[in-house]
C-alpha cells in the first residue's frame, strides 16, 4: 500500500494547460489531440512508470519487469486488438463519457471533479502529448 500511495503522490510535474478542444465521434476521438502521432516508446515509459501514468496501480499488462501490478481493471494485454486508436483515446481522455460510473480517472479533463488538491487544480493527469504517446503504445499491444 505504501508504494501505491507514494506512486499516487510522486508525479508532481504539472500539466498546466487547459485541455484542448477535441471532437467525439461515437465512442471514439478519431483525431490526434496534438495533430501529430505519439511516440510508442515514450508511451510505454508513461504506462510502466507508476508515478506518471498510474496505469499499473489498477491494470496489469505484458510488463515482466514490473512486479507490482493491479487487478482492479482489465489487463492491458491485447488492448490494441480490442480497441481502435480512437476508442483508446476517448477512454483515456474521459471514460465517463461512455460509463459515468467508471473507476478510471479521466486523464485529460478538469471537469466534474470535487475538491481537487491545490497542487492539481486546473491540471490534467496527462498532457495531450502524453495521451498521444500512450495511445501510440497501447495500439502495439496486439496480444
Binding site for other proteins (CB under 8 A): 1-5, 7-9, 50, 54, 56-58, 67-72, 103, 105-106, 112-120, 123, 125
Q: How far is the CB of 20 from other proteins (least distance, A)?
A: 18
The set of cell numbers assigned to 13 is 510535474
Going by C-alpha positions, the residue among 135, 118, 5 that lies closest to residue 68 is 5
Nearer Cβ to other proteins (44/85):
44
Pick 29 or 54: Cβ nearer other proteins: 54
- Phi then psi for residue 132, to 5 deg, are -65, -40
Cβ atoms of 108 and 128 closer than 8 Å: yes
Cβ closer to other proteins: 22 or 120?
120
> CA–CA separation, 27 vs 91, rounded Å?
8
| Smallest gap from residue 119 Cβ to other proteins (A) | 8
CA 27 from chain center: how many Å? 16
Q: Which of 1, 16 has the CB closer to other proteins?
A: 1
We find the least distance from the C-beta atom of residue 55 to other proteins, in angstroms, to be: 10
Amino acid at each position: 500500500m505504501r508504494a501505491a500511495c507514494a506512486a499516487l503522490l510522486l508525479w508532481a510535474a504539472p500539466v498546466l494547460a487547459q485541455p484542448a478542444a477535441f471532437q467525439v465521434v461515437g465512442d471514439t476521438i478519431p483525431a490526434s489531440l496534438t495533430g501529430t502521432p505519439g511516440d510508442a516508446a515514450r508511451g510505454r515509459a508513461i504506462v510502466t512508470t507508476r508515478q506518471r501514468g498510474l496505469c499499473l496501480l489498477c491494470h496489469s499488462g505484458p510488463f515482466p519487469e514490473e512486479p507490482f501490478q493491479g487487478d482492479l481493471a482489465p489487463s492491458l494485454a491485447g488492448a490494441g486488438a480490442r480497441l481502435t486508436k480512437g476508442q483508446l483515446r476517448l477512454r483515456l481522455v474521459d471514460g465517463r463519457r461512455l460509463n459515468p460510473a467508471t473507476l478510471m480517472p479521466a486523464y485529460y479533463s478538469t471537469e466534474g471533479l470535487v475538491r481537487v488538491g491545490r497542487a492539481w487544480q486546473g491540471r490534467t493527469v496527462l498532457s495531450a502529448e502524453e495521451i498521444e504517446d500512450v495511445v501510440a503504445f497501447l495500439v502495439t499491444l496486439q496480444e
